[in-house]
Structure 1
Amino acid sequence: MKLLFVADPLDTFKTYKDSTFAMMREAARRGHSILHCETRELVWLRGGRVTARGARHITLTGDANDWFTLDATADVALADVDAVLMRKDPPFDSEFFYATHLLSQAEREGAKVFNKAASLREHPEKLAIMEFPQYISPTLITRDPAEIRAFHAEQRDIILKPLDGMGGMGIFRVKDDGLNLGSIIETLNKDGTQTVMVQRFIPAISEGDKRILIIGGKPVPHCLARIPQGGEVRGNLAAGGKGVARPLSTRDREIAEAIGPTLAARGLLLVGLDVIGENITEINVTSPTCFQEITDQSGFDVAKMFVDALEAALA
């Protein structure tokens, strides 16, 4: 099969931990052809089909440094490959949004896109949790400072975060004393022009912010608990958290098995749940990671499970 990965530039991959690379490696091991393009190379010309300009056919070398060789470049209509894997990393900005529209057009032309373009648009990673209130802590979405102050008065210990943040950026904790709440609100909502997510602080963050992967509606049996370090409140690996693979708890599995089939039915082949304690805090759909960390520590081959699910979806 020919698999087109729409992703960041190849020279930015950190192959020792990159989940997209792990997917490529497993697909190549099975004899599938690997192609790559960036979102900026998607083109739709009047009367034509959505095309990846100068898509790169690559071969993986097995070398950690020079990890691929370029076989050829060619313009490739997305409908002419067996699968398109949208693996562009966040942020979900205007250009990402426009790319999903091009991918939707490619789907109308017959392309098979994973994750489905419309579902990427319809599942903003922080807002998506609100569909499942039974699995989340008290949460408020607003741009109104008065609403945020009232929520803090009720919950006493809260986390505030921007809706478009990634990697732990822009996350603030305000304790019972309310210190700096006003300044934090002004910083995040930009004088009432931007919406903010506010959640009750979950003390179980000290045990890790768990990344639970769901592939084809089924949970990977191990999660990666990202444990805050050095007095940090954030467990994100990008913010210095320590990743520790663990078997899913009974509650982890309950959550994943409850919502996994619903998300899979919407064309979300791969989902990354963020769970603190017994509560979902985010549903990641754009470019979920942690394949290699889980595999390296647990021995469970996440990339194999993913490519199995991809092949089944294309059968």
Structure 2
Amino acid sequence: MRIAFFVNSIEAETPHFTTTLLAFAALARGHEILYLTPGDFVLRSDNSLMVSARVLPPAKYKKVETFHKDLQGEKLSTKIIDVREIDVILLRNDPSQDAIERPWAAHAGAMFGRLASERGVLVVNDPAGLGLAQNKLYFQDFPEQVRPVTLISKNIDEIRTFIDGQPKGAIVKPLQGSGGKHVFKIESPKDSNLNQIFEAVSGEGYLIAQGYLPEARGGDVRLFLMNGKPLERNGKYAALRRVPAKGEVRSNIHVAGTPEKVEVTGKMLEVAEMVRPKLIEDGMFLVGLDIVGDKILEINVFTPGGLWNISQMYKTDFAESIIMALESKILIRQAYPATLSNIRLATL
């Protein structure tokens, strides 16, 4: 297969990003890989959709670090190809990273991904579904049982009133954002720094306030779902616990959160099952759930990360399972080329 990875920028990729691990696994299985970025699409006057793809010469890599070094080096070349010559495009960009400095780039993946899917390319996650998930408001479409009590507003008086009704305090963060940026815990509406936090965060748009879950002190659990079900290989789940650093409310690994092994409980599986129908409906092939107790804090549908840490902890190649699932989808599409939509095939 020819598999393309759509990212914000190649320069920003690291050896242990989930995207890098997936590309490495695809190469190991003999597939050709391409990298695409937001400015690489051309819709020509004859309605053909072309891409300016970055490619590496065929090679066998033993270490993901060596592959990443070549990806960042002189071996990378550019090739103009018709998008119909690509079998799979994985949309792995984070729109929030481009929203301020490159707003034109934020939604390029979903926009051109839709055009690619219309031309017969398998695009995952499905671009129509991703179009619905451009911010955390998407989370409100999932069952109420799995969501913390939530308020979305730009009105500080509304936020104060909401926080006053939360006996354990509240978490306040931007509605549009990712990676734990501008996430704050507020104990009460009388907190002296609430005005400063509001001024800092509200400049990015609407705020989302959620009732604080005390279990979050022990961290959250990142659980990968594939085709709407927990990703499992050799009896092991693709999951880890992210424990926040001392004095830190965020558990994201890039802000000093510590990854630890976790036992996936029946309660976690029940939570995953409750969100499965919506994920399948929206064509969400690969997502990451952030779970605390019996609630989900976030559903990561664009660039869920952590697969490197999980694979190392459990000595299990979950990335290969993901590539194998894509191989199966292409075989199904070849057998039934005119009957399966992209959104259906994405989670089949």
TM-score, structure 1 normalization: 0.91
Q: Select the residue among 106, 115, 121 that pairs with 2:131.
A: 121
Name stretches of at least 5 consecutive residues in structure 2 with no aligned partner: 232-236, 332-348
3-state SS of 1:141 partner: strand
Map 1:1-315 onto structure 2 (within 5 A). Answer: 1-15=1-15, 17-59=16-58, 61-63=61-63, 65-67=65-67, 68=70, 70=75, 72-91=77-96, 93=99, 94=103, 95-131=105-141, 132-156=143-167, 157-176=169-188, 178-179=190-191, 180-190=193-203, 194-220=205-231, 221-315=237-331
Q: C-alpha separation between the residues in 2 aligned to 1:90 and 1:136?
A: 23
- What is the match of residue 344 of structure 2? none
Residue 55 of structure 1 and its aligned partner are, at CA, apart by: 3.4
Greater mean alpha carbon deviation, residues 49-58 or residues 157-166 = 49-58
Structure 1 residues 178 and 308, CA, compared in 2 at 3 Å: closer, same or farther?
A: farther
Residue 109 of structure 1 and its aligned partner are, at CA, apart by: 2.0
3-state SS of 1:40 partner: coil
Structure 1 residues 276 and 302, CA, compared in 2 at 3 Å: closer, same or farther?
A: same
Residue 58 of structure 1 and its aligned partner are, at CA, apart by: 4.4
Residue 63 of structure 1 and its aligned partner are, at CA, apart by: 4.7
Structure 1 residues 82 and 255, CA, compared in 2 at 3 Å: closer, same or farther?
A: same
- RMSD of aligned Cα (Å): 2.1
Q: C-alpha separation between the residues in 1 aligned to 2:11 and 2:206?
A: 35
Post-superposition CA distance 1:230-270 (Å, at most 9, x none): 21111011211101121212111111122224313421110
Residue 88 of structure 1 and its aligned partner are, at CA, apart by: 1.7
Structure 1 residues 141 and 286, CA, compared in 2 at 3 Å: closer, same or farther?
A: same
Q: Contact 2:125/2:283 (CA < 8 Å) preserved in 1? A: yes
Post-superposition CA distance 1:175-216 (Å, at most 9, x none): 0363122332232223xx821100011111122121111011
Q: C-alpha separation between the residues in 2 aligned to 1:71 and 1:139?
A: 46
Q: C-alpha separation between the residues in 1 aligned to 2:323 and 2:109?
A: 24
* Amino acid in structure 1 at the alignment position of 2:3: L
TM-score, structure 2 normalization: 0.83
Structure 1 residues 163 and 106, CA, compared in 2 at 3 Å: closer, same or farther?
A: same
Q: Contact 1:34/1:58 (CA < 8 Å) preserved in 2? A: no
* Amino acid in structure 2 at the alignment position of 1:251: K
Q: C-alpha separation between the residues in 2 aligned to 1:260 and 1:76?
A: 36
Greater mean alpha carbon deviation, residues 207-216 or residues 59-68 = 59-68
Residue 45 of structure 1 and its aligned partner are, at CA, apart by: 2.5
Q: C-alpha separation between the residues in 2 aligned to 1:127 and 1:253?
A: 23
Aligned length: 312
Q: Contact 1:5/1:35 (CA < 8 Å) preserved in 2? A: yes
Q: C-alpha separation between the residues in 1 aligned to 2:140 and 2:298?
A: 9
Q: C-alpha separation between the residues in 1 aligned to 2:277 and 2:25?
A: 24
Greater mean alpha carbon deviation, residues 199-208 or residues 85-94 = 85-94
Q: Contact 1:44/1:102 (CA < 8 Å) preserved in 2? A: no
Q: Contact 1:19/1:290 (CA < 8 Å) preserved in 2? A: yes
Q: Contact 1:34/1:59 (CA < 8 Å) preserved in 2? A: no
Residue 282 of structure 1 and its aligned partner are, at CA, apart by: 0.9
Q: Contact 1:229/1:241 (CA < 8 Å) preserved in 2? A: yes
Q: C-alpha separation between the residues in 1 aligned to 2:123 and 2:178?
A: 23
Residue 8 of structure 1 and its aligned partner are, at CA, apart by: 4.0
Q: C-alpha separation between the residues in 1 aligned to 2:49 and 2:181?
A: 34
Q: Contact 1:224/1:294 (CA < 8 Å) preserved in 2? A: yes
Structure 1 residues 110 and 305, CA, compared in 2 at 3 Å: closer, same or farther?
A: same
Post-superposition CA distance 1:124-155 (Å, at most 9, x none): 35222212211011111111222111101111
Q: C-alpha separation between the residues in 2 aligned to 1:239 and 1:3?
A: 31
Greater mean alpha carbon deviation, residues 214-223 or residues 122-131 = 122-131
Q: Contact 2:172/2:210 (CA < 8 Å) preserved in 1? A: yes
**Higher percent of residues as strand:** 1
Name stretches of at least 5 consecutive residues in structure 1 with no aligned partner: none
3-state SS of 2:165 partner: helix
Counting aligned pairs with the same residue, the percent is 28
**Which ranges of 4 or more aligned residues in structure 1 deviate by more than 6 Å?**
none
* Amino acid in structure 1 at the alignment position of 2:151: L
3-state SS of 1:121 partner: helix
* Amino acid in structure 1 at the alignment position of 2:41: L
Structure 1 residues 297 and 136, CA, compared in 2 at 3 Å: closer, same or farther?
A: same
3-state SS of 2:319 partner: helix
Post-superposition CA distance 1:30-65 (Å, at most 9, x none): 111111121221222232322211432444533555
3-state SS of 1:39 partner: coil
